[in-house]
Structure 1
Amino acid sequence: MAIESVLLNVRDIARSVEFYERLLDATVVKSTDDSAELDLVTARFLLTRVDAPADSTWVGDDLQRGFRHVGFKVSDLDDRVAALHEAEVPFHLEPIHAEGGVRITFFYDPDGTLLELVEGPLQYHEVYDREAVDQDWGLGEPDRPRFDHVAETVADIETTTAHFSSLGYVRMAGIHQPSDDRGFEITFLRSGDSSLEVFTYDKAEKQQRTPQLDALGFAAVTFGGTGTGTGTGAGGGGRGGATVAVGTLLGQDVLTDPDGLPYIVARA
C-alpha cells in the first residue's frame, strides 16, 4: 500500500489552498470553506478546517519520535526558494548540499507543517532493494513539485521495518550521516511512488509524543492502492509492534505505529 493521501489540519482553507497552489503548484481537486483536496502528483493532500485546535506538542527536533516532515522532489529548487522568500515564508533550514548528492531546504506551511524540497536523485549509500531504487530513480525530474515522502523518527529500525512490511513496504535503501555524532542514519521504506523516510539516532535519547488529531498541521497519512509489496495487513502485533487506535478522521479509524505516527488504512 502506497501513501495515498496526507491529512492536514488548517485554520483557514483558502489561505492554505493558496499557499500550496501558488508555491508548490498543487492542483485543486475540490475546495469548500471546511475542507479541500489537492493533487500533489503522487498523493492527495486533504485539508480540514479546525476552528478550535489543541495546542500542538510537535517540536522541530528530530529526536522527537513520530512525524517529522513532508518531502517533495523538485527540479528548480533555487527558483522555489526565491518565491518562498518573496512570500515571506518562514524557513527551518536554508538550502544546503546534503549527504547523497542532493540539495535540500526546509520551511513551514501556514499552520506549521514542516516541508522539505529535494533537488536531484539521491545517491544511496546502501541499497537493499535494487528494483525499488530503480523505480524511484525512474520517476525522473518532476515537472512540478512531486510528493516524495513522509519522514518520522523511530526508536528501532527493525521494529519499524517489520511493522510496515505488513502494508507492503520494502526496505529500499539507506543514507549515512557520518558527521552527526548522535548516530544518525536514514532508512527509506518504499511502496509505490513514495517513501517513508525513517530517522534513527542510536547514540541519542529520543522523546515520545502522544499523537494529536486535533492540533494544526500534520494529522495523519493514509495508505491505500497498490505498491511494490503485496502486504495487506494493518501493522499487526509481534516483532513489528502492535498498532494502537487513537481516534477517527474523515470517518475512518486512525492507528499509530510503535513511534506514534498516525495513519489510516484506506477502505478497499
Structure 2
Amino acid sequence: MSLVSVDQTITIAMSVKDRHASAKWYETMLGFEALFHADDAGWSELRTNTPGVTLGLGEHTKPAPGNCVPVFGIGDLDAARQKLEEADVKFDGETTVVEGMVKTAAFYDPDGNALMLAQDLTGGAE
C-alpha cells in the first residue's frame, strides 16, 4: 500500500531559455499542442500525444542541460506532503502556490532524483 495516491496525470517539466520558442519547436517537430503560456509565472504547457501527459516548460536564463523533472498530479498536496515527510522523504523548500493555477512541492527519491507533486487549483482538472 502506498502512502499517497497520485492521479492519472504526469507533467514532464523542463528548463528552457525561451518558452515560446521551445513550445513552437515541440509543436512543429513532435505535433504537441500549446495549452497555455503563463507569462507571469514563467511557465508554458503543451499537450503531448499521450493521454494524461503534458510537457511543462519553465523559463530560466541558464537552464541545466538534461534537466527533467516528472511532475505527478495529486488531489491534496498538503496531505500527501505531510505523509511523505513523516516517512522521511526530503523536500526542496516550501510548497509553492500560484493562486488560481497550481500548488507544487519538489522532493527527492533516495538517489537524489528530483520529483514534484502538483495540485490543480483551476477547478477544472483535465
Partner of 1:48: 58
Where does 1:1-268 land on structure 2 (aligned, <5 Å)?
A: 1=6, 2-31=8-37, 34-40=42-48, 41=50, 42-51=52-61, 53=62, 56=64, 112-113=65-66, 217-218=67-68, 220-225=69-74, 234=84, 237=87, 242-247=88-93, 251=97, 252-267=104-119
Q: Is this contact kept in 1: 2:47–2:55, CA < 8 A?
A: yes
Q: Deviations over 1:70-122 (max 9, x none)?
A: xxxxxxxxxxxxxxxxxxxxxxxxxxxxxxxxxxxxxxxxxx44xxxxxxxxx
- Count, aligned residues: 98
Report sequence identity in percent. Answer: 18
C-alpha spacing 1:235/1:43, structure 2 compared with 1 (3 Å)? farther
Q: CA deviation at 1:258?
A: 0.4
Q: TM-score, normalised by structure 2?
A: 0.61
Corresponding letter in the other structure for 2:70: V
Q: TM-score, normalised by structure 1?
A: 0.31
Q: Which has the higher strand share?
A: 1
Report the 3-state secondary structure (helix = DSSP H, G, I; strand = E; otherwise coil) of the residue aligned with 2:23: helix
Unaligned regions of 5+ residues in structure 2, if any?
A: 1-5, 98-103, 121-126
Q: Runs (4+) of structure 1 moved beyond 6 Å?
A: none
